[in-house]
Structure 1
Amino acid sequence: MDFTIGYLIESLSNYDRSSVGSRISKKIEKGQFNSEKDFVLALDEEEIQFLNNILPDEIKYAFDEQDFVRGNQLNEVYELLI
């Protein structure tokens, strides 16, 4: 879980100007999630929609850069959202 959340925080840093992105980052900082599923269950509908919008691009970027670990970790979260 630590790697996944770390990659997610890094991805969200590109969107910190968004109030939703900032809210998700704060939720991650405050919460201690045992799994990706616990994290996803703690999200509201607006946060889920936001991640559904940004994660495909972030995953594509990771794979384009041949960072397969990051791409796979972000994809795990994305799969839980849909």
Structure 2
Amino acid sequence: MDKTLGYLLETLSNYSDHHVIPQRMMNKLENTQYNSEGTFIRELNEEELIFLNKVLPDEIKYALESQDFKRVQELNEVYELLP
């Protein structure tokens, strides 16, 4: 799995107990071999894109506050691809 998508999968797991949307995205990541985060993003539906647009800024901020700069970079790569 692409390293960036691995970080995204880990982030989605934080929400999967309470939301169906991240569970769906996790299933896609676990069951499909994506060449890049761009390929994954292009396959998301509107509901999934809205979810990521909502949670990624907070996740990036948290990673920044925790000084986990690698995580900031990886999650930001995904966020920049969102419409």
Runs of 4+ in 1 over 2 A off after TM superposition: none
Secondary structure of 1:15's counterpart equals coil
Gaps of at least 5 residues in structure 2 are none
- Map residues 58-77 of structure 1 onto 2, 5 A cutoff: 58-77=59-78
What amino acid is the match of 2:56? L
| 1:34 aligned partner | 35
**Hey, what's the Cα distance between the residues in 2 that align with 1:46 and 1:38?**
17
Q: TM-score, normalised by structure 2?
A: 0.93
Gaps of at least 5 residues in structure 1 are none
- Map residues 2-17 of structure 1 onto 2, 5 A cutoff: 2-16=2-16, 17=18
**Hey, what's the Cα distance between the residues in 2 that align with 1:14 and 1:37?**
22
Measured on the aligned residues, the alpha-carbon RMSD in Å equals 1.1
Q: Is the 8 A contact 2:7 2:71 kept in 1?
A: yes
| 2:79 aligned partner | 78
Residue 2 of structure 1: CA displacement? 2.1
Which has a greater percent of helix? 1
Q: TM-score, normalised by structure 1?
A: 0.94
